[in-house]
Amino acid sequence: MPELIPNDLMLRRRLAEVYRLYEEPAEAGRWMYLEQDRDAAETSAFEARYQTASQRMRALAWQGPESLAQTAFAREQLAAVRAACSDAMGRPIDWDTAPSGEKAASRGSAFADFLAGAGCLVTVLVFLAIWVNGLVALFD
């Protein structure tokens, strides 16, 4: 549902209230990010969970230009996040073409992927060595 109506600030406020009931400050901060009377702790939790501007753009799920926002504060927040994302990406970004984040995620996990592959390779080699050793011992 939030993806269908991300520009309705009242709906965003209600979603924040629901997440407060579930004690999810990061998600409450996500949905209150465009409100001037937002809670600083929730905003900090949101910014800690979504650390990059592109992650925040995707999390905010805004559609269309900032001018569609109902308040000046929301327009300023949206413009600041979009500008930070454009700076980080090195090219202009708009809300309808927010980056997917796959490249950013793959950069951070390349070393982890290498370690996982190396671990699998070592495991297979150890297994083969034990198997060959057992086979040789069988015929001795």
- 82 SS3 class: helix
User: pLDDT tens digits for the chain (140 residues)?
Assistant: 444 457 888 899 999 999 999 999 999 999 999 999 999 999 999 999 999 999 999 999 898 899 989 899 999 999 999 999 999 988 998 888 777 655 544 555 788 888 899 999 999 999 999 999 998 998 87
What one-character DSSP code corresponds to residue 100?
Answer: -
* pTM across the whole model: 0.66
Q: How many CB atoms lie within 10 A of CB 57?
A: 25
H runs (alpha helix) in the chain: 9-21, 25-32, 40-49, 53-60, 72-89, 102-139
